[in-house]
Copies of this chain bind each other. A is one copy, B any other.
Amino acid sequence: MLKDQNRPVFAIIGSGWGGSTLARLLDTAKYDVVVLSPDMTFSYTPLLASAACGLFDFSLAAESIRQPGSRVRFVRATVHDIDFASKQLNCTAQDEINSEIKFLFSFDQLVITPGTTVNTFGTPGVHEHAMVMRNAHDALKFRLRLFDQLERASLPCIDDETRNGLLHVIVVGGGPTGLELVAELSDMIRCQLNKIFPHLYENISISVHDVAGSILTSFDEKLAEYGTAKLRARNIEIHTSSHIEKIEAGAIVTKELGRVNAGVVVWATGNKAIPLIEDLKARKTEKGLPRILTTDRLQVTRDDEERTIIEGVYALGDAADVDGATLPTTAEVATQKATYLASMLNGKIAEPEAWSPFQYKQRALVTYLGNHDGVIGGREDWTGASAWLAWRSGTLMWTWSWSRRVKILFTWTMDRLVGRDIVQN
């Protein structure tokens, strides 16, 4: 772990799509690459809904930052503050059993890509009583929670009203994250849970709540309507223009409906900046989610009138945007930026001023709707079974290693041959 005198320390804050892609692509002969993140795994976010619904071992939805034989270093810690002048990071490490520990970490070059955190919009009870779906651990927790409720509802002493409450899953947020979970969950209920819990089939229900007037707002109106109709046809209650006042143990309270019993509540709506980004002395976006506003070479600039560049410091992922571009907070953007930056940094041109600027290439937006159906938007609109197939193969291509792809394909094949093996623990 000693500093290599020949290579500059290249620190990457964050292990999401941006940080992990960059760490994988940066030339470790040229840089001493160090990833700093509280998460020791990188989650394949498009696979989380499947993992949550037991399609396969949840660990296939995550990849370790530490890869056998890799020269990338990893420090499991949260970065609280960056001192650009002394080139030091202020870090805290914390885990389940060891006590909290604080330390400084020196860097030569830096990429800031820590992502965002959950936005509760000030709603009381979200942290205490709702679940999120941001990494593989969340997927596992969702599965455990759901099976806890199914077991509780199976007890001989439970009355019907209590049973219906225990088995009501409420998803707050009608974007792709919430709806893919709803789609996978509805598939699982129809194809697997009806065989394992036949006595509860009539008692399970799913609702989606969104404060906006419609769901799937990132797609165009026609696709959003198609998706809404398809989900409603499968008995999924969709409440648009719904205002959540608070979340309690076993219920949500909305302005429109009052108290609604729920056994599982998933909060899948909106992100906000983490304190590191909020407090950072660098130029940021002025409206919406505060993001670092970089140059078109992804360089971070000082918060002064000249917008002077902080040398050797870059930002990407959800926590950053390119000046004048307003790019979405998607895995696609983070991956493209990381690939661009790695290629520039690995290249022979040392001066970012001489690099070709970053350009985002628009890719299709895909959302699974359950029952082998989906919507695809962006370059061309598309629905139905072929959209589902495109989504599935896309899912597979997101993963990096061939062994992982083979394992996922094997799981899907076994599902076909012998039925999906729901993992109940």
> Which residues of A in the span 1-58 have a Cβ within 8 Å of any Cβ on B?
1, 40-41, 57
Chain B residues with CB below 8 A from A197, complex form: 66
In the complex, the answer to whether B68 meets A157 with C-beta atoms within 8 Å is no
A144 located at the interface, meaning its Cβ lies under 8 Å from any Cβ of chain B in the complex: yes
Chain B residues with CB below 8 A from A249, complex form: 97
In the complex, the answer to whether A75 meets B156 with C-beta atoms within 8 Å is yes
A292 to chain B, nearest CB (A): 26
Contact of A424 among B40, B406, B407, B423 (CB under 8 A): B40
**A interface bracket (residues with beta carbon within 8 Å of B):** 35 or more
Chain B residues with CB below 8 A from A422, complex form: 64
In the complex, the answer to whether B196 meets A67 with C-beta atoms within 8 Å is yes
| Given A151-B76, A192-B68, A418-B403, A1 contacting B98 (CB threshold 8 A) | no
In the complex, the answer to whether A93 meets B421 with C-beta atoms within 8 Å is no
In the complex, the answer to whether A95 meets B57 with C-beta atoms within 8 Å is no
CA distance A152 to B67 in the complex (A): 17
In the complex, the answer to whether B414 meets A403 with C-beta atoms within 8 Å is yes
CA distance A77 to B151 in the complex (A): 9
Chain B residues with CB below 8 A from A95, complex form: 148, 151-152
Chain B residues with CB below 8 A from A41, complex form: 424-425
How would you classify the secondary structure of chain A's contact residues: helix, strand, loop or mixed?
Answer: mixed
CA distance A349 to B209 in the complex (A): 59
A85 located at the interface, meaning its Cβ lies under 8 Å from any Cβ of chain B in the complex: no
Max count, chain B CB within 10 A of own CB: residue among A96, A404, A418, A421? A421
> Which residues of A in the span 382-425 have a Cβ within 8 Å of any Cβ on B?
402-404, 406-407, 410, 414, 417-419, 421-425
In the complex, the answer to whether B425 meets A97 with C-beta atoms within 8 Å is no
Closest to A141 in B: B96
In the complex, the answer to whether A425 meets B59 with C-beta atoms within 8 Å is yes
A358 located at the interface, meaning its Cβ lies under 8 Å from any Cβ of chain B in the complex: no
In the complex, the answer to whether A96 meets B148 with C-beta atoms within 8 Å is yes
In the complex, the answer to whether A40 meets B151 with C-beta atoms within 8 Å is yes
CA distance A271 to B422 in the complex (A): 32
Max count, chain B CB within 10 A of own CB: residue among A97, A419, A424? A97
* 24 sample A-B contacts, Cβ–Cβ < 8 Å, listed by A number: A1-B154, A1-B156, A1-B199, A40-B147, A40-B151, A40-B424, A41-B424, A62-B425, A68-B419, A74-B151, A75-B154, A76-B151, A76-B155, A95-B151, A95-B152, A96-B145, A96-B148, A97-B249, A101-B155, A103-B155, A103-B156, A403-B421, A407-B414, A407-B421
Known: A1-B156, A103-B156, A403-B417. 9 other contacts (CB 8 A): A1-B154, A66-B197, A68-B192, A68-B195, A95-B151, A96-B144, A98-B166, A105-B156, A403-B414
